[in-house]
Amino acid sequence: MSKELALRLEGVTKDFGGLRAVDGVALEVRPGERRALIGPNGAGKTTLFNLISGALPVTLGRITLFGRDVTSAPAHRRAAQGLEHDMDIALELSPRVTVLHYGCVIADGSRDEVRADPQVREIYLGA
């Protein structure tokens, strides 16, 4: 018996100018399943998570969540449907946090300092 897919990626691609960071990723995850992304630095793992969560726009391809196309949905709409990139986990694991966004440091400091940063609040914490 096949369950409805919780998450499906079809040909998901992300270009930054002339650099292809993610190239045609296909993935299916059913409710209750877990997947791991492994690879060296610069392989596109974080970029893929940012595409899935809506923190970055997809260049090509399609992302569906429980059968609904969320490819162009903003991060807060995806979060309302149960899909989010939770920075609070990282904030709890380390006394000092550096936040990169599009390859640029946007915040660096203690957990409280990073949580209070306006860009971090807007982009990652939905405030």
pLDDT in tens, 59-108: 999 999 889 999 999 888 887 777 766 555 555 555 666 665 555 566 77
Q: What percentage of the chain carries pLDDT values higher than 90?
A: 31
Secondary structure of residue 35 in the 3-state scheme: coil
| pLDDT of 52 higher than 80 | yes
pLDDT in the model for residue 117: 79
pTM of the model: 0.66
CATH architecture label of 1-83: 3-Layer(aba) Sandwich (3.40)
Mean pLDDT of 7-33: 93
CA geometry: angle 53, 9, 79, nearest 5 deg: 25
Question: What sign does the CA torsion over 112, 98, 125, 90 have?
Answer: negative
Alpha-carbon distance 45 to 85, whole Å? 13
Q: Which residues pair with 50 in a beta bridge?
A: none
Alpha-carbon distance 10 to 120, whole Å? 29
Residues of the chain with CATH 3.40.50.300: 1-83
Write b or e for each residue in 83-122: b if 16 or more Cβ atoms lie within 10 A of its Cβ, otherwise e: bbbebeeebeeeeebebeeeeeebbeeebeebbebeebee
pLDDT in the model for residue 85: 64
| pLDDT of 1 higher than 50 | no
Q: What percentage of the chain carries pLDDT values higher than 70?
A: 74
| pLDDT of 12 higher than 90 | yes
| Contact indicator for 54, 77 with CB cutoff of 8 Å | yes
Write b or e for each residue in 54-67: b if 16 or more Cβ atoms lie within 10 A of its Cβ, otherwise e: bbbebeebebbbee
